[in-house]
Chain A
Amino acid sequence: MPQLEIVDLKASYGSQKVLEHINLSVEKGEIVSLIGPSGSGKSTLLRVLMGLLPPEQGTVRLDGKSVNYANKAEVRELRSSIAIVFQQYNLFQNMTVLENVMITPTRIKGWPKAQVEADAIRLLTRVGLAHRLKAYPDELSGGQQQRVAIARALALKPEVLLLDEVTAALDPELVTEVLDTIRELASEGITMFIVSHEMSFVREVSSKVVFMADGLVVESGSPQQIFDNPQEPRARDFVGKILRH
């Protein structure tokens, strides 16, 4: 049984259709990368999965159980199984690094504090920030903040992690540290959706690459297939362009 299954999904912003006929099936531990031109609907797909934009049609199944996005409580519950990190590392500015990671499990989930704290420190160690536990976000670099955001997203032990251009707002010299963190997570078996413009990285970590254009999945397959031997003209065009850069 696939861990996450998207069946004939459709979504719109008002009257503008943004996603249509999206079908995707993801096994546990797979790293799926979404690529495609700007405006093709990559972010929107992640937002729909998170319940930030209700789908107009179609089904999302997590561990075989279909998600009812109209039910607020169910959506809140879903958000401990699926976590997302955005381009803009929007940490809680009035909380320390450690508090940012601990607040959801302790205050929202009511998990025991001692256990949560030990987990949070372990997570922050993994993203290389064990020495900045007491720092506030405005005292950190963009790359460090983004790594805290990743740790915060992982604090509820989600099954699926969605990363939307998490390095796009970073200075080039800080990109590597964040990619290293993601690479390490990828090797630990968490299922991930990655939207990224770092193509060599995408190629290296992905088990599946999905090329989107105009709200449709145009082509999907292994990184080798999509980057070396794309079948669809639009995919070939896109890959040709970015690889020439």
Chain B
Amino acid sequence: MTLNFQPLLEQWPYLLGGAWISLQIAVLAFAFGMLIGLLCAAVLRYGPRFARRIVSAYVIFATNTPQLVQIYFLFFALPEVGVTLSPFTAVLIGATFNAGAYLCEIQRAGFDSVRQMEIEAAEVLGFSTPQIIRHVILPHVLKVMFPPLSNQFIVMTLGTSMASIFGVEELTGRTYNLSSQTYLSVEAFSIAAVLYIAITLIATLVLASAGRYLFRAKIKAF
């Protein structure tokens, strides 16, 4: 078998553009998912029973069904109720829906790990409640959550390849297009694999060093 990368490498702006879209989906879904997760974690901790039930049901559903099924569901269900979305938006909503549940669990565990004794220590030193949150709770929680959050982000980045199924021209989608135009499938997908590795590698390194620097989190990059 002879490999011929040349025609594909000439298309690098097209492929990099695809990688950029993948990264956009991952970052946006992660950011919105964090917000939903925070809200859900707060409800689970402080909310009334009824609200806690709903959040629990959401988390159980979202973490126990395939993400692909969730996106399909949205993709077909939303137009039925009169909402038409671009493939990008539909995929983003699906990914956010899924991420919110995982990020809720991560944040809840983080908040549960705060040491009550440190809070009391801060109290007797004369800290006010906002000062306790700012100086004691948040730094601790961020540090504890950092490794699982980084992990989740990587998983989500790779998960964006599902978007190609719905016609979003991200990295996997564009690779598929090139492969069918040139019939150089093995080469095309090798390049995609290398690009995915590069993205996750860079993200892992950036996150690990940020974590080490900001939170003294002991994160193994590999």
Chain B interface: which of A18-26, A91-99, A186-194, A197-205? A91-99
Chain A interface: which of B17-25, B125-133, B196-204? B125-133
- CB of A52 within 8 A of CB of B124, answer yes
* Bound Cα distance A94, B140 (Å): 6
Given A104-B126, A107-B131, A107-B135 in contact, is the A92-B216 Cβ separation under 8 Å?
no
* Bound Cα distance A60, B123 (Å): 20
* Most chain B beta-carbon neighbours within 10 Å: one of A90, A94, A103, A108: A94
Say whether A126 faces chain B, with CB atoms less than 8 Å apart. Answer: no
- CB of A90 within 8 A of CB of B125, answer no
- CB of B128 within 8 A of CB of A76, answer yes
Given A93-B140, A94-B143 in contact, is the A108-B117 Cβ separation under 8 Å?
no
Measured between C-beta atoms, what is the minimum distance from B194 to chain A in Å? 38
Contact for A103 among B120, B135, B140, CB less than 8 A: B135
CB nearest neighbor in B for A75: B126
- CB of A50 within 8 A of CB of B124, answer yes
* Bound Cα distance A115, B135 (Å): 21
Chain B interface: which of A8-16, A77-85, A227-235? A77-85
* Bound Cα distance A91, B125 (Å): 12
Q: Which of B190-218 contact A (CB under 8 A)?
A: 215-216
CB nearest neighbor in A for B142: A94
- CB of A152 within 8 A of CB of B124, answer no
- CB of B216 within 8 A of CB of A90, answer no
Measured between C-beta atoms, what is the minimum distance from A123 to chain B in Å? 14
- CB of B216 within 8 A of CB of A94, answer yes
* Bound Cα distance A76, B215 (Å): 28
Say whether B66 faces chain A, with CB atoms less than 8 Å apart. Answer: no
Measured between C-beta atoms, what is the minimum distance from A53 to chain B in Å? 12
Contact for B124 among A77, A84, A107, CB less than 8 A: A84
- CB of A108 within 8 A of CB of B121, answer no
Number of interface residues of A (CB under 8 A): 25
* Bound Cα distance A179, B118 (Å): 23
- CB of A90 within 8 A of CB of B126, answer no
Given A103-B135, A108-B131 in contact, is the A93-B118 Cβ separation under 8 Å?
yes
Q: How many A-B residue pairs have CB under 8 A?
A: 56
* Bound Cα distance A77, B124 (Å): 10
Measured between C-beta atoms, what is the minimum distance from B139 to chain A in Å? 5
Say whether B68 faces chain A, with CB atoms less than 8 Å apart. Answer: no
* Bound Cα distance A152, B118 (Å): 13
Say whether B115 faces chain A, with CB atoms less than 8 Å apart. Answer: yes
Say whether B62 faces chain A, with CB atoms less than 8 Å apart. Answer: no
* Most chain A beta-carbon neighbours within 10 Å: one of B124, B128, B131, B135: B124
- CB of B139 within 8 A of CB of A94, answer yes
Given A88-B117, A103-B135, A107-B131 in contact, is the A94-B125 Cβ separation under 8 Å?
no
* Bound Cα distance A84, B216 (Å): 28
Contact for A77 among B120, B123, B126, B131, CB less than 8 A: B126
Say whether B35 faces chain A, with CB atoms less than 8 Å apart. Answer: no
Say whether B136 faces chain A, with CB atoms less than 8 Å apart. Answer: yes
- CB of B136 within 8 A of CB of A92, answer yes
- CB of B127 within 8 A of CB of A108, answer yes
Contact with B along A44-73 (1 / 0, CB 8 A): 000000101000000000000000000000
* Bound Cα distance A49, B215 (Å): 35
- CB of B126 within 8 A of CB of A108, answer yes
CB nearest neighbor in B for A81: B126
Residues of B within 8 A of A84 (CB): 124
* Bound Cα distance A84, B123 (Å): 11
* Bound Cα distance A84, B124 (Å): 7
Measured between C-beta atoms, what is the minimum distance from A184 to chain B in Å? 22
Given A52-B124, A79-B126, A136-B216 in contact, is the A90-B118 Cβ separation under 8 Å?
yes
Measured between C-beta atoms, what is the minimum distance from B119 to chain A in Å? 9
Which of A's residues lie within 8 Å of B, judged by CB?
50, 52, 76-77, 79-80, 83-84, 86, 88, 90-94, 103-104, 107-109, 136, 149, 152-153, 156
Could you show 9 A-B contacts with beta carbons less than 8 Å apart? Answer: A76-B128, A90-B118, A92-B118, A92-B121, A94-B143, A103-B135, A107-B135, A152-B125, A153-B125
Q: Would you list the 6 A-B pairs with minimal beta carbon distance, nearest first?
A: A79-B126, A90-B117, A90-B121, A76-B126, A104-B125, A94-B139
